[in-house]
Structure 1
């Protein structure tokens, strides 16, 4: 689901409701001290559950004394974040 590549955690599956729980857990397991960059460049599909997963990773990072940033966030996810008024919560690269 998530693969470490050149210092980025690359999400390799669609960020849809069917994968949300697995992605949340995989991201939590991948967190280490320091900054983590989740890279969505290989995400082919995403729905509103992607935002829930991203917020869950942010919360887990705070508990793990890590920081998270998001790269190549799909345009549809960004549009939903804007619609929900949470864009400022997402640390984008």
Structure 2
């Protein structure tokens, strides 16, 4: 990951080099627009945050509740049988 080369003297979350990275990537509003589409809400002509294609992406991916469940496991909390959000394996993932 050589993209962190400017981390030392620039606000990385806001600036990546000399562009406002969090808001702009180059000359487009990256958070809202990627090119000429509203990226946060739309990717192409579909509501990306809520829908990816014709499924509610934030909640459902296909016919499963993606945010909470991936397949039949609680993805946000558990990945398989471990608490993924807090623990990845047996370590505190969020902290460690």
Would the TM-score normalized by the shorter structure come out above 0.5?
A: no
Q: How would you bin the TM-score normalised by the shorter chain?
A: under 0.3
- The TM-score normalised by the length of structure 1 is 0.22
Answer with 1 or 2: which has the greater Rg: 2
- The TM-score normalised by the length of structure 2 is 0.21
Identify the structure with the greater strand proportion. Answer: 2
